[in-house]
Amino acid sequence: MTRIVAGSVGGRTLAVPPQGTRPTSERVREALFSRLEHLDAVEGARVLDGYAGSGALGLEAASRGASHVVLVEWGRAAAEVCRKNVAALGLRDRVDVVRERVEKFAARPAAAPWDLVLLDPPYDVPDAQLAEVLAGLVPALTVESVVVVERSTRSGPPHWPAEMHGFDTRTYGDTAVHLGARSPVGDEPGDRADAPEEPADEESPA
């Protein structure tokens, strides 16, 4: 069972696609959003949830006060589940669902900058495809934007484009959550996938 952890619709249950998705666990979502709220990255934010699956990450952001959320999902069944969850939670006024490949959506100009980007791709998504998505998003980010990438610990950190850098990584069992941001102009050191990130305590499964 997948539920919204906290906020205006906290505790509500989400439908999940029958197969092909890997919903972020409640434990990881709770830890992630605690971190994001500490960074003041959620309240009033414009949020993109790529590889949305059930929409759990984006809907968690909406529940916690994001002003506008877009759920992008290519799978037909998963996109329909996203729409049903949005309707069931009464969030149609703030959450849109787009059925499109994430790399194609990321390459199109955004109406306004994204304050928060949530990317939880299936484990079989190649690193090169994820790097393409991150590169496509750069023009739609500001130095205040936060980008979240959730991957298996076996995958290693994402290959951040030259205009971005990673600043925090935390692990939860076999899941790694990486935070990145756009670098200020004049401080773009190239692909920093192997650069040291801000230290963070590793958490073990409960």
Percent of the chain topping pLDDT 90: 83
pLDDT value, residue 175 = 95
Question: Facing residues of 48 across strands?
Answer: 70, 117
Ranges in the chain, pLDDT < 50: 189-206
pLDDT at residue number 186: 65
pTM of the model: 0.89
Which pLDDT belongs to residue 187? 60
Structural domains of the chain, with CATH: 2-178 (3.40.50.150)
Q: What is the model's pLDDT at position 45? A: 99
* pLDDT value, residue 101: 98
